[in-house]
Amino acid sequence: MSSGNVSAVLVHGAWADGSSWSKVIDGLKKQGIDAVAVPLPLTSLSEDVAALDRTLERIEGPVVLAGHAYAGAVIASSRSEKIRALVYVAALAPDEGETVGDVFYRGEMNPLAPTLAPDRHGLIWLPQEAFAQAFAQHATPQALAVLAAVQRPISVSCIGEAVGRPLWKDRPSWFLIAEQDLMINPETQHFMAVRMNAHVRSYQADHTPIVTAPDAVTHVVAEAVQAVSAR
């Protein structure tokens, strides 16, 4: 497989860091696709977009942007001319004027999903037990230990900031729907994917397929890279 000169840029969501993409990075490398994971501060949506744009400045040539969970809002808020396509991995895709919270709470929450509340610093942490119960219920004990140990809190301001015109209205998009997601209702994922007119790829995966179903994620990202490389 040849990706031409198209790189994959991978953006982590809440309670995670770039290492959550490690298996996908390896899978893409085996297919000849260079990948870079973006470090987000998770301090506000606008600051996260600025962090993404700083990473994109360092990359030569066109890119496919892939975002997990919260990062769906981040990847659609960039205006970089390098972006050729977007890949949503169990991700949130607010429309213009909506917030991340609007789409996250659109559907009924799963009973196993944790109750989320900010601490006195305005930061939302994922309860320890939620990693195994809802965040990545298909993960190995070793993977769960790492996810919990490296978790990074997300600021309330990230989920309360209304987005502008999302880039998915102007670029082709792919959406990996995680049908066993206990954090973001799969029905909400279907709703967003249809609204975006995305290429839908459905898998029996939990909320964090970048860790628990990396081959599926690699396949969808590579498909997007190939599609834009062929143009």
Judged against a pLDDT cut of 90, whether residue 58 lies above it is answered with yes
Judged against a pLDDT cut of 80, whether residue 1 lies above it is answered with no
Q: Which string of DSSP letters, residue by residue, matches 85-124?
A: EEEEES---PPTT--HHHHHTSSPPPTTSPP--B-TTSEE
Judged against a pLDDT cut of 60, whether residue 2 lies above it is answered with no
Mean pLDDT calculated for residue range 205-224: 98
* pLDDT tier, 191 (very low <50, low <70, confident <90, very high otherwise): very high
Provide the whole-model pTM: 0.96
Residues constituting the chain: 231
Judged against a pLDDT cut of 70, whether residue 36 lies above it is answered with yes
Residues 40, 71: contact at Cβ < 8 Å?
yes
pLDDT digits (tens, 9 = 90+) for 96-111: 999 999 999 898 889 9
pLDDT digits (tens, 9 = 90+) for 131-154: 999 999 999 999 999 999 999 999
Label residue 43 exposed, middle or buried (CB < 10 Å: 0-12, 13-18, 19+). Answer: middle
pLDDT digits (tens, 9 = 90+) for 64-82: 999 999 999 999 999 999 9
Mean pLDDT calculated for residue range 171-195: 98
Mean pLDDT calculated for residue range 8-23: 97
The domain locations on the chain are: 7-229
What is the model's pLDDT at position 3? 55
Residues 8, 32: contact at Cβ < 8 Å?
no
What is the model's pLDDT at position 230? 73
What is the model's pLDDT at position 140? 97
Tell me the CATH architecture of domain 7-229.
Answer: 3-Layer(aba) Sandwich (3.40)
